[in-house]
């Protein structure tokens, strides 16, 4: 049953990266030294954590959408399996951004995950458009 893992992991990532958003809000509004944090808004680690927050939440939502598509529409099994796996691999992108921001790791996961998510999203759209009228009504 392709799609179930996408829905589950998608919601987990959405929740995790929403929590990172709360951290960012705390650092901006309440933390001691918040003036320095605000001054560094568009640079360095702060910027990269914001990028991870935005993409982690977005990629979580995309995984939920792809998972529901795969659960509800009669996408051929082989295509469904690859779309699901690629969308899950896309979650490596925001993880890669965090690892790069916090530990200086090379951004390989960022590009790998981003490319996987692009392919999964385009393939899912194409698969949905290719369904016949009877399959869409089902």
**What is the pLDDT at residue 135?**
56
In this structure, are residues 1 and 71 in contact, taking their beta carbons and an 8 Å threshold? yes
Query: pLDDT tens digits, the chain, 138 residues: what are they?
Result: 799 999 999 999 999 999 999 998 888 888 898 888 788 777 888 889 999 999 999 999 999 999 999 999 999 999 999 999 999 999 999 999 999 999 999 999 999 999 999 999 999 999 999 997 655 555
**Considering its fold, how many domains does the chain have in total?**
1
Per-residue H/E/C for the chain: CCCHHHHHHHHHHHHHHHHHHHHHHHHHHCCCCHHHHHHCCCCHHHHHHHHHHHHHHHHHHHHHHHHHHHHHCCCCHHHHHHHHHHHHHHCHHHHHHHHHHHHCCCCHHHHHHHHHHHHHHHHHHHHHHHCCHHHHHC
Residue-range definition of the domain harbouring residue 119: 4-137
Residue 95's φ and ψ, nearest 5 degrees, are -65, -45
Helix axes 92-103, 44-72, angle to 10 degrees: 170
Is the CA virtual torsion 86, 88, 94, 95 positive or negative? negative
Alpha-carbon distance values, 99 to 74, 92, 109, 113 (Å): 37, 10, 9, 13
């Amino acid at each position: 049953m392709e799609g179930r893992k996408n829905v589950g992991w998608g919601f987990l990532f959405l929740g995790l990266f929403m929590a990172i958003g709360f951290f960012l809000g705390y650092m901006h509004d309440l933390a001691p030294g918040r003036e320095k944090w605000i001054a560094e808004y568009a640079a360095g680690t702060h910027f990269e954590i914001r990028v991870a927050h935005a993409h982690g939440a977005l990629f979580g939502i995309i995984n939920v959408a792809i998972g529901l598509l795969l659960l509800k529409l009669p996408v051929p099994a082989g295509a469904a399996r690859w779309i699901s796996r690629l969308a899950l691999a896309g979650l490596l992108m925001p993880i890669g951004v965090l690892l790069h921001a916090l530990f200086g790791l090379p951004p390989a996961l960022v590009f790998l995950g981003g490319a996987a998510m692009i392919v999964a999203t385009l393939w899912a759209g194409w698969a949905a458009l290719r369904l016949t009228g009877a399959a869409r009504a089902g």
